[in-house]
Amino acid sequence: MSAMPSYAFFEGLAWFRFPLFAMATAFWLGTDKRLLYVMLISTALGMFLMTGILTAEIIIEGQKGGRLSWPDDDLVSGNYLSKVGLLAFTIMVALAIGAKPKLESIMGGLSLISIIMSVLTGERINFLIRACGGILAALVWQPNWRRYIILIIVEIFAVAAVFVAMPKWQCQMFKTGSLMRL
């Protein structure tokens, strides 16, 4: 259906590597616990490295128009936190809800730092992806209901903090009606 079918075919063929990687991860790499742990730890380390980079940006330069732009000087730095770090973040939230008290407090603190940085990037959709992913992970992984209610309250305060900290956002969302689309 494309105007250039051969070009479209070869561009689409290049994307075959993603399902191939997903299958290799699930059926080959995922069968060895050591490799699975290495993948999870490296993802978490990458997420916290990006959190550190964005913290440095806040300290050194601050936000530009309500958004962060380091390390690539583009205004979508929350994409990495949201999409690459989503697996590590959801596991941290699940452990914060259902683990033993010492591990729970460590995972809760780390996930709180990570979600705060997601708010500070200024990207609403990426924040919502992480917030909803964390809530869902906490619900399906052996939840301690008292901790789960605390998580919901923290999430509500995080969303309220977004609106308090970024009033331009609020005004723009109500003007364009995009609040209803969220």
Cβ atoms of 104 and 151 within 8 Å: the answer is: no
pLDDT tens for residues 74-101? Answer: 777 778 888 888 888 998 888 888 878 8
| pTM for this predicted structure | 0.70
Please state the domain extents for the chain.
1-31, 33-181
Tell me: pLDDT of 174 over 60: no
> In the predicted model, is pLDDT for residue 139 greater than 80?
yes
68 pLDDT above the threshold of 80: no
- The number of helix segments (H) and strand segments (E) in the chain equals 10, 0
